[in-house]
Amino acid sequence: MDSIMGMVVTAKVTDENDDAYFVQANGQTLWVDKDEPEKPLHIGGSYEGFVYENEDHRHQMTRHVPEISFDHFVWGTVVRTRHDLGVFVDVGLPNKDLVVSLDELPTISRLWPKKDDRLYIKLTRDNKDRLWGTLAEMTDFQALATPYNKEQVKNSDTEVTVLRLKIVGTTVITDDNHLGFVHPSERDQEPRLGQHMKARVIGYLRDGELNLSLKPRGYEEIGDDAQMLLAALQHQADHKLPFWDKSDPEDIRTYFGISKSQFKRAVGNLLKQRLISQEPGEIKLVEPTDEQAED
């Protein structure tokens, strides 16, 4: 007998109680939530829906057919993890989250997806007739991916989801379905599988993938005091200020509202980022070169 688990079938209504209708298809009795049908069902009538085993291990049918199937991938949202089993993913089924087995997840548990992360999965069925979610392969993402316009994405910020974790780096896909790669030198720590995060385009790879960085631009790394100095310089017509690291502490506090040590740290940060230059008696905003604009 062919399994109907995970399939859309038409069943015959055979019984009901206060909470549910009972329907039969392919020799199996299925439970239908009584609140689901738009109109009351009648014994002997028919009902079409998607068949699955709910969280109470009851075989259920729902007319709310999910987009996921055995040959169609969807983005599902991780709702919880169980380290002896895997991660549970919401794909839109009533009373049911699909499990992606720990066998498909990274061997390092801290790299497992967490709540609200995203996985691209389709249905699979084991030899006990249980439904699972299974992760997409790179060929599936390549089929999903779309080409990018270099001029449109150049040095742009984007949102990405982590697809694959390797020693050589992290493969991601943008929300616009462009494949990308993050070298280990362009991240502060290895991201989780399924993690949704910000990235920026820093180049293009020969295989058509975007070269991405998870690190902020230099000006995004500086602290509040440095941001304040930068803003003050930007508001000057000549982009200069008559202060430097040997200026009088009281003059610094009167003008900027910070201590001299804070001022020196902020100046040092901006010098390191090559955002300003310093000469005796002044600091000056550095205009970015074409090479810096690409960073």
The tens digit of pLDDT for each residue in 273-294 reads 888 999 999 999 987 543 343 4
20 within some domain: yes
Q: What is the mean pLDDT of residues 51-78?
A: 96
180 within some domain: yes
- Tally of domains in the chain: 4
Q: Which domain holds residue 156?
A: 141-213
Claim to verify: residue 170 and residue 205 sit in the same structural domain: yes
Mean pLDDT, the chain, rounded, equals 91
pTM summary value:
0.75
Banded pLDDT at 225 (limits 50, 70, 90): confident
Report d(CA 162, CA 193) in Å as an integer: 5
Helix, strand or coil for residue 153? helix
CATH of the domain at 265: 1.10.10.10
Q: What is the mean pLDDT of residues 74-79?
A: 98
CB 201 within 8 A of CB 211: yes
Claim to verify: residue 127 and residue 156 sit in the same structural domain: no
Q: Which of 28-42, 169-183, 202-216 has the lowest mean pLDDT?
A: 202-216
Chain center to CA of 8:
30
Report d(CA 243, CA 282) in Å as an integer: 5
Dihedral angle of Cα 86, 90, 92, 95, to the nearest 10 degrees: 70
pLDDT at res. 230: 85
CB 173 within 8 A of CB 179: yes
Helix, strand or coil for residue 288? coil
Nearest to 61 by CA among 73, 53, 69: 53
Write the CA distances from 2 to 5, 52, 125, 198, 258, integer angstroms: 9, 14, 12, 45, 75
Claim to verify: residue 171 and residue 125 sit in the same structural domain: no
Report d(CA 178, CA 33) in Å as an integer: 41
pLDDT at res. 220: 63
Rg (CA), the chain: 29
For residue 81, list its beta bridge partners: 87
pLDDT at res. 292: 41
> Exposed e or buried b for every residue in 24-46, given b needs 16+ CB within 10 A?
ebeebebbbbeebeeeebeeeee
Tell me: pLDDT of 223 over 80: no
pLDDT at res. 291: 38
pLDDT at res. 190: 94
- Tokens representing residue 70 in the block: 């055995």
Domain boundary pick from 198, 213, 228: 213
pLDDT at res. 231: 84
Write the CA distances from 253 to 135, 189, 256, 284, integer angstroms: 57, 38, 5, 19
Claim to verify: residue 56 and residue 114 sit in the same structural domain: no
2 within some domain: no
Q: Which of 63-72, 140-149, 152-161 has the lowest mean pLDDT?
A: 152-161
pLDDT at res. 61: 97
164 within some domain: yes
